């Protein structure tokens, strides 16, 4: 089968790898250079957060974990650093339309065989003295950090080793499907293929908005978490703070990044932007420093080094994983997608190779 993957971030590379595992030799085309900072996949770390209650996310997390385990040890270290995740607060968790109690999340993780325990805030503060906590804390020792940059390198290596290609500096100008396949139009020429997989993040609307796929509105924002220098050596887990509405600008997440500090960020409150005119302008930095001052006695709030990335968010923050004719689309990962990438790749590969395959219902496009 002739397959082109448009977009060489983590979702495109993970999909190409999953196809390569099944004997295919896809071509990945990416408009930017290897290691660019224009999208949502760069940087050393991403939160491997498993604090979900919804079954479709837990199913996807299970598939993702199989993929991370298959990728295994890279450059002398597993791609997942399982140093644990602590979640606290009474607000709505990521992926939830409403607040779900931490005890309920723990119950659903336990039903999946994922280790989780509910402890008191005082107990948590004794274990992780660099942090403060609300009264109830969910601890999952099986979570932690995905090594983002290393994952991109390894995925590309495996795609190429299996006979696929990754072509950098190859912008796609149009996706033109018809009844027999799809033309992928680049500056270097047109690829006539059976299926095109489009995983272009913030550029999804620009590339596919006129293709009649029925995409939901996609809001592109620039988000600016920051690294803070520790005042103490740790230990530092990954973390979520599901804040009560109005108490902070948004939910808070973060993780340790060796050599850079501890990343802390508000979830999904950046300015809406055009990805081709990204201002790289930090926002809510004063509020972020004040949050760190209040909740992280082990970090120096005056050492913030902002980071820029993009979110591409659907109205309900649910991912888009679907196929329309010869076009498969993965989009709208809403700032929470990286950890799911091997599972997203497996799902999109299913859609390519099996015309009857469907993603979980919340991830599907509406049918007219």
Q: pLDDT tens digit string along 229-246?
A: 999 988 999 999 999 989
Half-sphere exposure in the Cβ direction for 30 (13 Å, CA): 26
Residue 233 CB-half CA count within 13 A: 0
Q: For residue 272, is pLDDT > 80? A: yes
CA 7 vs. chain centroid, Å, equals 15
Residue 216: what pLDDT? 95
Phi, psi dihedrals of residue 110, rounded to the nearest 5° = -60, -40
pLDDT digits (tens, 9 = 90+) for 92-138: 776 555 567 899 999 999 999 999 999 999 999 999 999 999 999 99
Q: How confident is the model at residue 17 (pLDDT cuts 50, 70, 90)?
A: very high
Of 16, 298, 283, whose CA–CA distance to 167 is shortest? Answer: 16
Per-residue model confidence as pLDDT tens digits over 274-321: 999 999 999 999 999 999 999 999 999 999 999 999 999 999 999 999
Q: Tell me 145's DSSP state.
A: E
- Retrieve residue 144's tokens: 């932690």
136: CB partners within 8 A, 6+ apart: 88, 102, 103, 118, 119, 120, 121
Token pair, residue 107, equals: 């119950």
pLDDT score for 112 = 95
Q: What is the rounded distance in angstroms from the CA atom of residue 131 to the CA atom of residue 296? A: 5
β-bridge mates for residue 353, sequence order:
none
Q: Model confidence at 366, in pLDDT bands (50, 70, 90)?
A: confident
Q: What are phi and psi of 202, to 5 degrees?
A: -65, -15
| Nearest of 243, 296, 257, 234 to residue 46 by alpha carbon | 257
> What pLDDT, in 10s, does the model give residues 171-203?
999 999 999 999 999 998 999 999 999 999 999
Averaged pLDDT, 261-271: 97
CB 66 within 8 A of CB 342: yes
The alpha carbon of 10 is separated from its chain's Cα centroid by a whole number of angstroms, namely 8
Decide: 42 and 310 in contact? Cβ < 8 Å: no
Query: What angle in degrees, to the nearest 10, is found between the helix axes of 55-71 and 10-21?
Result: 70
pLDDT at 138: 97
In three-state secondary structure terms, 52 is coil
Cis peptide before 360 (omega within 30 of 0): no
Three-state DSSP class for residue 337: coil
For 3-42+149-219+315-363, give the CATH class. Answer: alpha beta
């Amino acid at each position: 089968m002739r397959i082109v993957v448009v977009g060489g971030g983590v979702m495109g590379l993970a999909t190409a790898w999953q196809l390569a595992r099944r004997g295919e030799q896809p071509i990945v085309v990416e408009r930017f250079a290897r290691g660019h900072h224009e999208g949502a996949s760069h940087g050393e770390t991403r939160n491997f957060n498993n604090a979900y209650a919804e079954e479709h996310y837990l199913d996807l997390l299970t598939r993702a974990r199989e993929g991370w385990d298959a990728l295994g040890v890279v450059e002398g270290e597993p791609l997942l650093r399982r140093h644990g995740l602590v979640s606290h607060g009474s607000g709505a968790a990521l992926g939830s339309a409403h607040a779900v109690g931490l005890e309920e999340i723990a119950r659903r993780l336990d039903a999946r065989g994922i280790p989780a325990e509910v402890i008191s805030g005082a107990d948590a503060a004794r274990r992780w003295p660099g942090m403060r906590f609300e009264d109830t804390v969910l601890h999952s020792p099986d979570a932690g950090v995905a090594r983002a940059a290393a994952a991109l390198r390894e995925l590309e290596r495996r795609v190429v080793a299996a006979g696929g290609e990754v072509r950098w500096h190859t912008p796609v100008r149009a996706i033109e499907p018809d009844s027999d396949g799809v033309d992928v139009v680049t500056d270097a020429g047109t690829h006539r293929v059976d299926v095109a997989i489009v995983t272009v993040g913030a550029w999804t609307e620009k590339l596919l908005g006129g293709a009649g796929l029925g995409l939901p509105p996609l809001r592109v924002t620039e988000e600016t978490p920051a690294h803070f220098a520790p005042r103490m050596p740790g230990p530092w887990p990954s973390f979520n703070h599901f804040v009560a509405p109005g108490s902070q600008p948004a939910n808070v997440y973060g993780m340790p990044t060796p050599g850079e500090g501890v990343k802390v960020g508000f979830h999904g409150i950046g300015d809406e932007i055009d990805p081709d005119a990204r201002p790289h302008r930090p926002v809510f930095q004063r509020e972020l420093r004040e949050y760190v001052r209040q909740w992280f006695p082990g970090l120096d709030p005056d050492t913030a080094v902002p980071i820029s990335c993009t979110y591409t968010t659907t109205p309900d923050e649910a991912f888009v994983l679907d196929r329309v004719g010869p076009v498969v689309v993965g989009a709208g990962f809403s700032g929470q997608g990286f950890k799911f990438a091997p599972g997203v790749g497996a799902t999109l590969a299913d859609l390519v190779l099996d015309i009857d395959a469907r993603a979980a219902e919340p991830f599907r496009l509406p049918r007219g």
